[in-house]
Amino acid sequence: MYYLTKIEDTVRIPPYKFEDPLEEVAIETLNETYNGRLDKKLGLLVSVNNIEVIGEGKVIMGDGAAYHEVVFNAVFFKPELYEIINGEVIEIAEFGAFIRIGPMDGLVHVSQVTDDYINYDSKRGALLAKESKKTLEEGNFVRARIVAVSLKGKSTKETRIGLTMRQPNLGRFEWIEDEKNKSKK
């Protein structure tokens, strides 16, 4: 889920950018500093989109840059436990499928793809259900539920998001549509 959060901080504006519009330079600097940073409570900072308050600049001796106290709004992405998400399959492995959900990736273990027995087809790079003949491949769009979240470290590489598609109205979009059509008949 995406959240808008207000943050107070100090931004350093280098002297060679003094002639540029202050707010634009401050937003650019904050984005360079914080984009992609992970916070356990807030999630992943996606973007600094506007500044509410810019204080008067202070120059520190020996530096030459101006330091401004700022209050800005930032967009965070934080996966919530039991949240239902839509995503794209970006990689298939023998043990499951990696799903891109916004700026992060989650894993659907093979045991959580369907109630059916799943085989891995290494030639196609696909997961195949034995009885229902359902397939899951790179590029498929799916709906899943978040069943485990571990926001550790300072980057998304250390993050673990567990997903399931073994519930009604979850799975590949085509599977969901097929189930709706069957229930109408």
Both 103 and 155 in a single domain? yes
Last residue of a domain, one of 54, 77, 100: 77
Both 160 and 134 in a single domain? yes
Condensed to tens digits (0 to 9), the pLDDT of residues 32-74 reads 999 988 988 899 999 998 999 999 999 988 888 999 999 999 9
**Residue 70 corresponds to which tokens in the numbers above?**
């700022």
84-120 b/e (C-beta count within 10 Å ≥ 16 → b): ebebebeebeeebbbbebbbbbbbbebebbbeeebee
Domain housing 154: 84-184
SS (H, E, C) 8-33: EEEEEECHHHCCCCHHHHHHHHHHHH
Both 28 and 66 in a single domain? yes
Condensed to tens digits (0 to 9), the pLDDT of residues 101-159 reads 989 999 999 999 999 999 999 999 999 999 989 999 999 999 999 999 998 877 777 88
pLDDT of residue 181: 87
Looking up tokens 């996966």, which residue turns up? 79
Last residue of a domain, one of 77, 109, 124: 77
pLDDT of residue 175: 92
Both 42 and 90 in a single domain? no
Closest CA to 103 of 7, 38, 170: 38
Both 88 and 67 in a single domain? no
Both 125 and 177 in a single domain? yes
**Residue 117 corresponds to which tokens in the numbers above?**
């027995």
Task: Quote the number of domains for the chain.
Answer: 2
Both 43 and 112 in a single domain? no
Both 113 and 175 in a single domain? yes
Both 174 and 110 in a single domain? yes
Closest CA to 8 of 52, 42, 60: 52
Last residue of a domain, one of 77, 111, 139: 77
Q: 65: domain CATH number?
A: 3.30.1490.120
Q: Is 179 helix (H, G, I), strand (E, B) or coil?
A: helix
Both 147 and 60 in a single domain? no
